[in-house]
Amino acid sequence: MDPAPTPAELAAYLRGSLPKDRFAAIDQWLEHQPDEEVGRLLGDAESQMTQVHLDMPLKAPPEPGFVADPSRSRLHAGDVIGEGGMAVVQRAADASLERDVALKVLKPRGIDESLDQFYLRAQAFRREAALTASLEHPAIPPIYDIGRAEGRPAFTMQRLNGRPLDERLRDEPRPAIALVEVFLRAVEAIAFAHSRGVVHRDLTPANILVADFGAVYVLDWGVAARIGEGDGVRVGTPAWMAPEQAMGAPADPRMDVFALGALLHLVLTGQGPRPDPGRPGLLELDRLQDRNVPRGLAAVVRRCLSEPTQRYPDAGAIVAELRRWLDEGITVAQEAGRLERAWLRLRHSKQVRMAAGSAILLLAVVGSAWWLHLHDARQAAVQRVERMAAAVDLNRPEAVRVAQAEVEALLASHPGLPEAHALAERLRAAGDVLAQQTRLAEQRLRFRQLLDHVRRTGPWPGESQEWQSALAGVGIELGSAAALPTWHDHPLAVDIAEALVWAWRAAAERNQSVEAARAAQALASGGPTPGWRALGRVCAVSRFQAHDPALPAGVDAAAALAEPESAGAVMAAFAPAAAIDARAWEVLQDRPGDFWPLIAAARAALAQRDLHSAQHLGLVASGAEPDSMYPPLILAYEALARGDATDLSRAVGRGLRINPDHTELQALQAVTLARAGHRADAQAVVDRIGAAHLQYHLQHRVGHPMERTVDALVLAGLRIPDVAPDLGPVAPDGQGHRHH
């Protein structure tokens, strides 16, 4: 090895003034020295130099790939510039790149926020960063980096200067065409997200920023989701979100289409279309009839705000409509006639006006030659029909409607054109098929909404009527004596079967014997599989024990539990039983996160006084369905059995937030109030439940958990008048009681 370098050579090494071979030799020599020795030698050499300043490590182990600047002082956070329910946004300066950024930091866990809720919020925060970073578009602020700040998840993004859309509209009124051009840039960003399978789900005026130099940005992708995700999750801003979002429907681009229509209403009229956010079905569109609102744009708004199946399929279709209006002054939604379309184009386009003037002059000169072109016009129409017939996508309602409009226009010009008549008939048949598919989708959505309601809140007032109404939509009338239809081969047969189970349970609990019997008969005769038909026969002979139907032993019960789908309905609708418990544990071995097996197993554990298992299963079920009242109810009964007042109060409060009408939760609330010393409030809750209901559970001991709740009320010294026992529905609706 070469001899050690002198201090002068080390100084020259730092300045880069050594010959190449000596530089390489010293570099190799330094590689073989300890880090401390290298630091000392080079530090001494640097101290002798006045023109060199080292601000980077002189020696560090090589790392593969690119490594970001690790300096703790790189990012300097400033004041808060925005705050939402999930995170806080601060001004920040990136010292390494010498640029201003925005730092978004997850809020700390709230004092009333459970650990699982905090974890879900942190997961949604990281998901926002990943989703936003995947959308590279000029109108979507880019994500620069992701990491942690103050020990919590955080990410940096482009810092923007501008004002929200509603402030710009209020302070800087401009002609409609300029406003539409600004709005179009935001719609193009949403169209880009839809093309990547992402739905924003929270489009509001505050989330569209108009920057100082005309740029437009779509902000806050915190509740965005992939198409089809988020089933059962209710997110969005009530004043602007689509009605189906309030029902927890999965993410669909048509949700954003509704919000974009509401925002376009704001752009055109200065107000949103929804006067009361608490009533999502109430829209006021009268302002669209103002003479200053272009008809084509008003038609776009109305279509965006219509039922999901009537809306544009995604934001890309709205982009096409707005561009068409900017270019021609007309939209497809306007459904204008031929003369109106021509007049609008003439008014809107200088080029069209010039072309029209030239055409009139030409017609004046060569009018006599017009008839010679009739044959060519007819041939052109035939060719247009042939091209449309080859290109139209009969599986897309929008494409069929546009083609029908064009064919009608051709037939108006050439009424005797057989090719156009044939295509019109073909399009009409396709439209009928699509309409049938739309009806099927609406029926499926209604069943899924009700089934989701059951998972979230359990029984609710008016439940029986809603199930019967949904079944009537597929031809099954439970309230009449008409013959039941054959439905086992219906496309929604499984949904119908599950709906019949719940319709039977709701009717039977409310002593609606005719409706309950017809629901059981319909399932037994028309179920899509042997398991469902067996379950129908089980329902026909089952009797209630307190608030839950008991599963009778026999071959039908075994057959119903043998099939996965019918078994799930049994676990959800029936009281704990040994066969149900065994089947639930069997399912959980393969699918430990299945909700109804978790609830069934937890109920059985409560009945057997296995409190540890009941608590464990209740917590797992809470993670699987955080918006369901069943896990809090199980945890409340488990806490009551353990005598843990804190856990009991927490579980009851969470359950009542989901379903305030549930009688069992109300009774448990009275226990918590009494044990906390609020006897008057507790007695008021008891009186609201009704002495007859509570007396039933005092006098009828069938093993229902409510019996332990009533015992706790008596032990707490609350007064339950001695009246005749009368057990009503667990969610009373004022429509009668079931007497025992």
Overall number of domains in the chain: 5
Spatial contact of 451 and 595, defined as CB atoms under 8 Å apart: no
Mean pLDDT of 464-471: 95
Identify whether residues 81 and 41 lie together within a single domain: no
Q: Which domain holds residue 176?
A: 162-335
Q: How confident is the model at residue 49 (pLDDT cuts 50, 70, 90)?
A: low
Identify whether residues 153 and 219 lie together within a single domain: no
How far is 616 from 618, CA to CA, in rounded Å?
5
Identify whether residues 176 and 207 lie together within a single domain: yes
Identify whether residues 189 and 131 lie together within a single domain: no
Residue 518 pLDDT exceeds 90: yes
Tokens of 152: 């919590």
Q: What is the pLDDT of residues 657-675, one digit of tens each?
A: 999 989 999 999 999 999 9
Note the pLDDT of residue 340.
Answer: 47
Longest alpha-carbon distance in the chain? 109
Note the pLDDT of residue 316.
Answer: 94
Residue 73 pLDDT exceeds 80: no
How far is 422 from 71, CA to CA, in rounded Å?
73
Residue with tokens 């009542």: 656
Mean pLDDT of 471-490: 91
- Of 335, 352, 379, the domain-final residue: 335
Mean pLDDT of 545-564: 93
Q: Give a yes or no: residue 687 inside a domain.
A: yes
Question: How is the beta sheet containing 162-164 ordered, strand by strand?
Answer: 162-164, 208-211, 216-218
CATH number of the structural domain spanning residue 109: 3.30.200.20
Q: Give a yes or no: residue 368 inside a domain.
A: no
Note the pLDDT of residue 736.
Answer: 44
Instruction: Please give the full DSSP string across 677-728, using - where no structure is assigned.
Output: T-HHHHHHHHHHH-HHHHHHHHH--SS-THHHHHHHHHHTT-----------
Marked catalytic residue, from 94, 166, 202, 314: 202
Note the pLDDT of residue 419.
Answer: 87
94 is known as an active-site residue: no
Return the minimum-mean-pLDDT range out of 134-143, 358-367, 448-457, 608-617: 358-367
**Mean model confidence pLDDT for the chain:** 86
Mean pLDDT of 250-275: 93
Q: Give a yes or no: residue 188 inside a domain.
A: yes
Mean pLDDT of 380-403: 84
Q: Give a yes or no: residue 385 inside a domain.
A: no
More confidently predicted of 473 and 111: 473
Q: Give a yes or no: residue 407 inside a domain.
A: no
Note the pLDDT of residue 97.
Answer: 82
Identify whether residues 257 and 306 lie together within a single domain: yes
Q: What is the pLDDT of residues 151-187, one digit of tens each?
A: 889 999 998 888 898 888 887 766 656 788 889 999 9
Tell me how far CA of residue 173 lies from CA of 93, 248, 270, 680, in angstroms. Answer: 35, 37, 9, 58
Note the pLDDT of residue 670.
Answer: 96
Task: Pick the most confident of 22-36, 60-74, 118-132.
Answer: 118-132
Note the pLDDT of residue 466.
Answer: 95
Q: Give a yes or no: residue 417 inside a domain.
A: no
The reported pTM is: 0.49
Residue 740 pLDDT exceeds 60: no
How far is 164 from 116, CA to CA, in rounded Å?
34
Note the pLDDT of residue 327.
Answer: 83
Note the pLDDT of residue 584.
Answer: 95
Tell me how far CA of residue 424 lies from CA of 360, 395, 427, in angstroms. Answer: 32, 16, 5
Note the pLDDT of residue 348.
Answer: 52
Residue type, 706: M
Residue 367 pLDDT exceeds 70: no
Q: Give a yes or no: residue 430 inside a domain.
A: no
Helix axes 564-573, 595-607, angle to 10 degrees: 40
Q: How confident is the model at residue 737 (pLDDT cuts 50, 70, 90)?
A: very low
Identify whether residues 39 and 60 lie together within a single domain: yes
- Of 158, 189, 209, the domain-final residue: 158
Q: How confident is the model at residue 381 (pLDDT cuts 50, 70, 90)?
A: confident
Tokens of 698: 């005092």
Residue 495 pLDDT exceeds 70: yes
Q: Give a yes or no: residue 466 inside a domain.
A: yes
Q: Which of 546, 521, 533, 460 is nearest to 493 (CA)?
A: 533
Note the pLDDT of residue 273.
Answer: 93
Q: How confident is the model at residue 71 (pLDDT cuts 50, 70, 90)?
A: low
Identify whether residues 194 and 211 lie together within a single domain: yes
Note the pLDDT of residue 599.
Answer: 95
Identify whether residues 117 and 213 lie together within a single domain: no
Identify whether residues 627 and 684 lie together within a single domain: no
Handedness of CA 456, 460, 465, 468 (dihedral sign): positive
Phi/psi of residue 94, nearest 5 degrees: -90, 105
Note the pLDDT of residue 387.
Answer: 84
Identify whether residues 203 and 102 lie together within a single domain: no
Spatial contact of 549 and 575, defined as CB atoms under 8 Å apart: yes
Identify whether residues 560 and 510 lie together within a single domain: yes
Residue 602 pLDDT exceeds 70: yes
Instruction: Please give the full DSSP string across 638-688, using - where no structure is assigned.
Output: HHHHHT-HHHHHHHHHHHHHH-TT-HHHHHHHHHHHHHTT-HHHHHHHHHH
Return the minimum-mean-pLDDT range out of 96-100, 329-333, 371-375, 705-709: 371-375
How far is 637 from 634, CA to CA, in rounded Å?
5
Count the neighbouring beta carbons within 10 Å of the beta carbon of residue 82: 14
- Of 50, 67, 84, the domain-final residue: 67
CATH number of the structural domain spanning residue 174: 1.10.510.10
Residue 146 pLDDT exceeds 70: yes
Strand 208-211 vs strand 87-94: parallel, antiparallel, or unpaired?
A: unpaired
Task: Pick the most confident of 286-295, 347-356, 691-700.
Answer: 691-700
For the chain, the first-to-last Cα distance in angstroms comes to 101
Tokens of 283: 């829209």
Identify whether residues 208 and 306 lie together within a single domain: yes
Tokens of 324: 């068409």
Q: What is the pLDDT of residues 216-261, one digit of tens each?
A: 999 988 889 999 988 888 888 999 999 999 888 999 999 999 999 9
Mean pLDDT of 189-201: 94
Note the pLDDT of residue 543.
Answer: 93
The single-letter DSSP state of residue 217 is: E
Q: How confident is the model at residue 56 (pLDDT cuts 50, 70, 90)?
A: very low
How far is 219 from 164, CA to CA, in rounded Å?
10
Tokens of 354: 């010039």
Percent of the chain topping pLDDT 70 = 89
Residue with tokens 């960003």: 189
Note the pLDDT of residue 579.
Answer: 95
Return the minimum-mean-pLDDT range out of 4-18, 53-67, 278-292, 607-621: 53-67
Q: Which of 640, 595, 592 is nearest to 615 (CA)?
A: 640
How far is 187 from 299, CA to CA, in rounded Å?
17
Strand 87-94 vs strand 99-106: parallel, antiparallel, or unpaired?
A: antiparallel
Note the pLDDT of residue 26.
Answer: 81
* b/e burial code for range 303-319 (CB count within 10 A of at least 16 → b): bbbbebbebbbbbbbbb
Spatial contact of 270 and 399, defined as CB atoms under 8 Å apart: no
